[in-house]
Amino acid sequence: MNFTPITVSKVVKKMFPNFVWSIDSEEKTLYLTFDDGPTPEVTEWVLACLKRYNAKATFFCIGKNIEQHPSLFKQIIKDGHGIGNHTNNHLKGWKTSVDSYLKDVSQAQNIINEQHQESEIRNQNLFRPPYGRIKARQSKLLIKQNFKIVMWSVLSLDWDKNVSEQKCYENVVKNAVSGDIVVFHDSIKAFKNMQFTLPKVLDYFSEKGYDFKRIPE
């Protein structure tokens, strides 16, 4: 049984007020995010799906994946989506020293900047810690470096093999409201659930008059 909370409690949000959990919006807007890419075929499928709905999203990319698939990373930017830093090696902050963690984030940021200096790099100050696990000292120093630490309002749990496709879909549509940040993963592990859920989520909220936007800088 999975005990990962789908939504974030008010208590947790108050404990970490310097993190972004949602975005105030007077309009019907959702902020879809995708972690762990870019991943060949998977990210391409996501981009095609988003384009069909004229939806924008934010991709929190792993540095080493950008380095391995630069053209796919560039396509994310070309399609008008935002990007964010997700460390270079998908580190667990709780199990990593402060110095090592910051060096890994910096390495990923260098790759982001070096790969496409000629491109308009959107949201390059956004950072999401893998697993949502980050030490207070790590976050404090990243914020000092002008990173905006973006967490989430709703988890789809698309990566969890014990979560069915239908449950993944319900996790989003039963919990997301305007201004929420929703987490998906453009990874091989999450692809089965995400491939089922994403178009249905886009359908469901589009019919209710929602727009899908990038996370603002």
Q: Which two tokens stand for residue 110?
A: 């260098």
Query: Per the residue annotation, which of 24, 35, 90, 180 is the catalytic one?
Result: 35
Q: Is 69 a catalytic residue?
A: no
Q: Which two tokens stand for residue 195?
A: 């491939």
Angle, helices 70-78/42-52, rounded to nearest 10 degrees: 10
Q: Is 185 a catalytic residue?
A: yes
- Cross-strand pairs, 20: 150
Query: Per the residue annotation, which of 86, 104, 185, 186 is the catalytic one?
Result: 185
Please list the active-site residues.
Answer: 35, 185
